[in-house]
Amino acid sequence: MDELVEEAREGDQRAFESLVRQTYQDTYTLAYRLVGNEEDARDVVQETYLRAHKGIKKFRGDAQITTWLHRITANCASTYLGRKGRQRHESLPEDTDFADDHPQGDPVSRADLSALRSQLTEALMQLPPKLRAVVVLRDIYDLPHESIAEQLGITESAAKVRLHRARKRLRERLYPLGEEEARAV
């Protein structure tokens, strides 16, 4: 992919299109996780690639191209949600299917993990968008706090506070029984 990036930076349209082909599903998945519905995610993805296309010459290559695209996606989604929030209330998230790419582990723990991931995907969509964005970008996509704060237009400490709140809410949602048991201890 590095070669394609280099060619795209030099203005090769075909190379950029190949990059799009290789990355659009990943970009769409992140966009979907950030905005919570298909139609908005499609718009965010288009905007992301338009910006990437305009800015590819400025891409210095000190991060992976996917990380760079994740940052743009986060920024586009944040702008999009901000604009949408001013226009109307957030609609309920849709159900969508995610392909499971984790065949490792023994069958029991695999089934446990699969169930947990399914609950987790649902729980993520129930989070308020501001909390969801931070936990998705940090804990799933491994973006640094500094970058998350920059793309979302908040301070680094605010990003951390949101992250901890999001984790707490997810834990409480995923382990409600554990919570009661824990209180009884």
Query: By the criterion CB under 8 A, which residues form the site for another protein?
Result: 13, 16-17, 20-21, 24-26, 28-29, 32-33, 39, 41-43, 45-47, 49-50, 53, 96-102, 113, 116-117, 120-121, 135, 139-142, 160, 163-165, 167-168, 170-171, 174-175, 178, 181-183, 185
Q: Nearest approach, Cβ of 62 to another protein (angstroms)?
A: 21
Closest to 129 in 3D by CA, of 2, 7, 28, 33: 33
Q: What is the largest CA-CA distance in the chain?
A: 64
Q: Nearest approach, Cβ of 33 to another protein (angstroms)?
A: 8
**Token reading at 176:** 């409600």
Q: Roughly what angle, to the nearest 10 degrees, separates helices 156-174 and 107-126? A: 120
Answer whether 176's CB lies under 8 Å from 169's CB. Answer: no
Closer residue to another protein in complex, CB, 50/153: 50
Q: Nearest approach, Cβ of 54 to another protein (angstroms)?
A: 9
Closer residue to another protein in complex, CB, 108/182: 182
Q: At residue 175, what are phi and psi to the nearest 5 degrees?
A: -125, 60
Q: Nearest approach, Cβ of 25 to another protein (angstroms)?
A: 5
Closer residue to another protein in complex, CB, 17/90: 17
**Token reading at 162:** 């949101």
Closer residue to another protein in complex, CB, 57/164: 164
Answer whether 3's CB lies under 8 Å from 12's CB. Answer: no
